[in-house]
Amino acid sequence: MDTYVNLKQVGRNVLLAICDCELLGKTLREGKIVFQVKEEFYKGGKVTVEEALAMIENSTIVNMVGKNCVEKAIEKGYVHPEAILEIEGIPHAQIIKL
């Protein structure tokens, strides 16, 4: 399964954005939450989920959205299952390394 990844240097941080390919460009809504999976934020290279997760090691901030990438991040121990926010049934997770 492929994902889009976008890796950026932001000050002293390395920001990694990951999204499942089918979500790119979509807007998710639930209650007062409006979450846009914007191309300018998420679209970089297209890689496998495993390749995307390997990039977490060298990132200080990670933003991910999608069942495939978030479930794999939980399996690998990067994200705790209770730290997931679901929007329209789609999981979203953030990792911040201090």
CATH number, domain containing residue 49: 3.30.1860.10
Mean pLDDT estimate for the chain: 96
pLDDT at 73: 97
> Which domain covers residue 9, as residue numbers?
2-96
Q: Please state, in angstroms and rounded to a whole number, the distance separating the CA atoms of residues 19 and 23.
A: 7
How many domains is the chain built from? 1
The mean pLDDT value for 44-68 works out to 96
pLDDT beyond 90 at 20: yes
pLDDT at 98: 80
Amino acid at 29: R
The mean pLDDT value for 30-40 works out to 95
